């Protein structure tokens, strides 16, 4: 299991180091450090042997000359898993054959937990919350085994102010919650107004050939729920999942064909740990007791019948060796009554561009030399419309033999519908113990479709 956890700043200085197992930092890592770093480090190593592992990572990964070739590095039989958040490195170290997926999941979780406690993960925040982080590390990782890492539960007994004295009932409540079946929700939550918000957030990913052929397209969506519900409410979530609708519509063939149009085929979905997976597997119903506040209920992926909100038609012509002509047309493809927002088209330019002239019908376009791209922004655009940009790019003559790689044209946007076609059909709330019913709960649903990696090759 995880032998130790280190947090470094961008210079490779250790901000946090927590060692769980003795095997970390034994002699093995020495050779790697000494061979590549010389006497300076040796002086700094001082008394503690653990520093070897710490330094090995600094020398071989953070200060490495070339790009990181793998998120898992094995230095002298010690494996380092790392993730980077802004300019902070988190590294988990082990000498055993650990579950690699688990270690990465844990590192992400660690980031989430820290973010939930003190916001952005930055060097300053980490230094300021030094004690808190050690307390957290002590609680969520025991002998390298991840324990409960739900912020909701952790916040009940790891507080920044230090724990106030609790009554005996409170203590046992905490422990039963941390270890219990519903570790993500505490008892006795009360709201005057029972309310819930559902956000269906989708990102459309597209890779299109210059000829307009869809090479790959998929939607990865998330259903994020914000719940402000009293007690221990039992929820049931329904959407227009093809399998469910076909099951229900078995009786009347007519209905099946009618609703079949509106249902969507979900390739795969994953759920928050509060969802009863066995129930989903057998009945395909999504039932759960939600955590309090915001959480991600499910993630899903679809590949069939995706509504592609925009189509990009590129035309690149090389006029001689020093000039390029680019024309890009975008077409919006959704109901005219809806408005897409924050549209941005990014047209890459060669490295040896010397000047660019742009003409566009709508919005603003600018050549950004530092990004090697023409950025075309349109604030709003209704459905079934079309817009166009044309640009002349002047090139400096170079003797570089290598051809320009022609990176794809990428696009960003936001649309007020779900490109996968997903619809929330219901979200029912039952709380048998308290006297509020499904009808008393105020429910809000919102759909947002954003561009993921939306690229057209040119």
Partner 1 sequence: MTVGKDVSALFPDVVNCMQTDNLELKKLVYLYLMNYAKSQPDMAIMAVNTFVKDCEDPNPLIRALAVRTMGCIRVDKITEYLCEPLRKCLKDEDPYVRKTAAVCVAKLHDINAQLVEDQGFLDTLKDLISDSNPMVVANAAAALSEIAESHPSSNLLDLNPQSINKLLTALNECTEWGQIFILDCLANYTPKDDREAQSICERVTPRLSHANSAVVLSAVKVLMKFMEMLSKDLDYYGTLLKKLAPPLVTLLSAEPELQYVALRNINLIVQKRPEILKHEMKVFFVKYNDPIYVKLEKLDIMIRLASQANIAQVLAELKEYATEVDVDFVRKAVRAIGRCAIKVEQSAERCVSTLLDLIQTKVNYVVQEAIVVIKDIFRKYPNKYESVIATLCENLDSLDEPEARAAMIWIVGEYAERIDNADELLESFLEGFHDESTQVQLQLLTAIVKLFLKKPTETQELVQQVLSLATQDSDNPDLRDRGYIYWRLLSTDPVAAKEVVLAEKPLISEETDLIEPTLLDELICYIGTLASVYHKPPSAFVEGGRGVVHKSLPPRTASNESTESPETAPAGAPPGEQPDVIPAQGDLLGDLLNLDLGPPVSGPPLATSSVQMGAVDLLGGGLDSLIGGTNFVAPTTAAAPANLGAPIGSGLSDLFDLTSGVGTLSGSYVAPKAVWLPAMKAKGLEISGTFTRQVASISMDLQLTNKALQVMTDFAIQFNRNSFGLAPAAPLQVHAPLSPNQTVEISLPLSTVGSVMKMEPLNNLQVAVKNNIDVFYFRTLYPLHILFVEDGKMGES
Using rule CB under 8 A, residue 252 touches partner 1: no
Please give the structure tokens belonging to residue 111. 């980031």
Among positive and negative, which fits the CA dihedral 61, 66, 72, 78? negative
Q: Which of 39, 40, 168, 188: binder of partner 1 (CB under 8 A)?
A: 168
The answer to whether residues 307 and 229 touch, using CB atoms and an 8 Å cutoff, is no
Residue 335 assigned as binding residue: no
Using rule CB under 8 A, residue 431 touches partner 1: no
d(CA 111, CA 16): 13
CA distances for 431 relative to 28, 286, 292, 434, 437, angstroms: 58, 16, 14, 6, 7
Residue 379 assigned as binding residue: yes
The distance of Cα 73 from the centroid of its chain, to the nearest Å, equals 23
Please report, as residue ranges, which positions from 208 to 247 form the binding site for partner 1 (by CB under 8 A).
Answer: 209, 215-216, 218, 220
Q: Which of 41, 115, 116, 178: binder of partner 1 (CB under 8 A)?
A: 178
Please report, as residue ranges, which positions from 34 to 53 form the binding site for partner 1 (by CB under 8 A).
Answer: 44, 46-48, 51
The answer to whether residues 204 and 452 touch, using CB atoms and an 8 Å cutoff, is yes
- Shortest approach of partner 1 to residue 141 CB, angstroms? 10
Specify the residue for token string 């309310």. Answer: 195
d(CA 143, CA 127): 24
Cβ-based nearer residue to partner 1, 133 or 229: 133
Please count the other Cβ atoms lying within 10 Å of the Cβ belonging to residue 48: 11
* DSSP-assigned states of every residue in 261-299: TT-B--SEEEE-TTB-HHHHHHH--EEE-PPSEEEEEEE
Using rule CB under 8 A, residue 69 touches partner 1: yes
Please count the other Cβ atoms lying within 10 Å of the Cβ belonging to residue 364: 11
Cβ-based nearer residue to partner 1, 110 or 360: 110
The distance of Cα 93 from the centroid of its chain, to the nearest Å, equals 24
Which listed range, 276-284, 320-328, 411-419, 428-436, lies at the site for partner 1 (CB under 8 A)? 276-284
d(CA 441, CA 314): 49
Using rule CB under 8 A, residue 155 touches partner 1: no
Using rule CB under 8 A, residue 412 touches partner 1: no
Please give the structure tokens belonging to residue 137. 């590390």
Please give the structure tokens belonging to residue 125. 């925040």
Q: What is the DSSP letter of 24?
A: T
The answer to whether residues 415 and 343 touch, using CB atoms and an 8 Å cutoff, is no
Residue 226 assigned as binding residue: no
Which listed range, 250-258, 321-329, 400-408, 418-426, lies at the site for partner 1 (CB under 8 A)? 400-408
- Shortest approach of partner 1 to residue 247 CB, angstroms? 17
Residues in the interface with partner 1 (CB under 8 A) total 104
Cβ-based nearer residue to partner 1, 180 or 363: 180
Q: Which of 68, 361, 369, 434: binder of partner 1 (CB under 8 A)?
A: 68
Using rule CB under 8 A, residue 116 touches partner 1: no
The helix/strand/coil state of 151 is helix
Nearest Cα to 413, choosing from 342, 307, 334? 342
d(CA 139, CA 4): 14
Sequence-separated (6 or more) residues with CB below 8 Å from residue 40: none
Q: Which of 104, 118, 228, 436: binder of partner 1 (CB under 8 A)?
A: 104
- Shortest approach of partner 1 to residue 322 CB, angstroms? 20
Cβ-based nearer residue to partner 1, 138 or 187: 138
Q: Which of 401, 432, 433, 439: binder of partner 1 (CB under 8 A)?
A: 401
Using rule CB under 8 A, residue 455 touches partner 1: yes
Q: Which of 10, 87, 138, 260: binder of partner 1 (CB under 8 A)?
A: 138
Which listed range, 163-171, 320-328, 352-360, 423-431, lies at the site for partner 1 (CB under 8 A)? 163-171
Cβ-based nearer residue to partner 1, 220 or 240: 220
Q: Which of 41, 100, 375, 424: binder of partner 1 (CB under 8 A)?
A: 100
Please report, as residue ranges, which positions from 295 to 324 form the binding site for partner 1 (by CB under 8 A).
Answer: 296, 298-299, 301
- Shortest approach of partner 1 to residue 64 CB, angstroms? 13
Residue 377 assigned as binding residue: yes
- Feature table: binding site: 364, 366, 368, 377, 379
């Amino acid at each position: 299991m995880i032998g130790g956890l280190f947090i470094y700043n961008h210079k490779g200085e250790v901000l946090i180091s927590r060692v769980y197992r003795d095997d970390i930092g034994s002699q093995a890592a020495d050779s790697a450090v000494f061979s590549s770093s010389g006497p300076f480090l040796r002086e700094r190593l001082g008394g503690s042997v653990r520093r070897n592992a710490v330094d090995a990572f600094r020398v071989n990964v953070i200060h490495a000359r070339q790009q990181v070739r793998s998120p898992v590095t094995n230095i002298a039989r010690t494996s380092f898993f790392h993730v980077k958040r802004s300019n902070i490195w988190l590294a988990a170290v082990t000498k055993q054959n650990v579950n690699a997926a688990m270690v990465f999941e844990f590192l992400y979780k660690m980031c989430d937990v820290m973010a939930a406690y003190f916001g952005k993960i930055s060097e300053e925040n980490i230094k300021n919350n030094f004690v808190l982080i050690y307390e957290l590390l002590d609680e969520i990782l025991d002998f390298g085994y991840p324990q409960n890492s739900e912020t909701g539960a952790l916040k009940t007994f790891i507080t920044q102010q230090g724990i106030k004295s609790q009554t005996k009932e409170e203590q046992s409540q905490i422990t039963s919650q941390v270890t219990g079946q519903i570790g993500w929700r505490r008892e006795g939550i009360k709201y005057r107004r029972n309310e819930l918000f559902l956000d269906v957030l989708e990102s459309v990913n597209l890779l299109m050939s210059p000829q307009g052929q869809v090479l790959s397209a998929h939607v990865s969506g998330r259903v994020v729920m914000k719940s402000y519900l009293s007690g221990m409410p039992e929820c049931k979530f329904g959407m227009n999942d093809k399998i469910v609708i076909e099951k229900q519509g078995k009786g009347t063939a007519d209905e099946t064909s009618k609703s079949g149009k509106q249902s969507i085929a979900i390739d795969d979905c994953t759920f928050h740990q509060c969802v009863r997976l066995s129930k989903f597997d057998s009945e395909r119903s999504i039932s759960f007791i939600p955590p309090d506040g915001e959480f991600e209920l499910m993630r899903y992926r679809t590949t069939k019948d995706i509504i592609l909100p925009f189509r990009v038609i590129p035309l690149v012509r090389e006029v001689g060796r020093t000039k390029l002509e680019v024309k890009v047309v975008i077409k919006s493809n959704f109901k005219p009554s809806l408005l897409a927002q924050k549209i941005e088209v990014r047209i890459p330019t060669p490295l040896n561009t010397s000047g660019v002239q742009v003409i566009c019908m709508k919005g603003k376009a600018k050549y950004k030399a530092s990004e090697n791209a023409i950025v075309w922004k349109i604030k709003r655009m209704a459905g079934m419309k079309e817009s166009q940009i044309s640009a002349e790019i002047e090139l400096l003559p170079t003797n570089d033999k290598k051809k320009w790689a022609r990176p794809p044209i990428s696009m960003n946007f936001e649309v007020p519908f779900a490109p996968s076609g997903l619809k929330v059909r219901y979200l029912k709330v039952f709380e048998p113990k308290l006297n509020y019913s499904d009808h008393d709960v105020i429910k809000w649903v919102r759909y947002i479709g954003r561009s993921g990696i939306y690229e057209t090759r040119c």
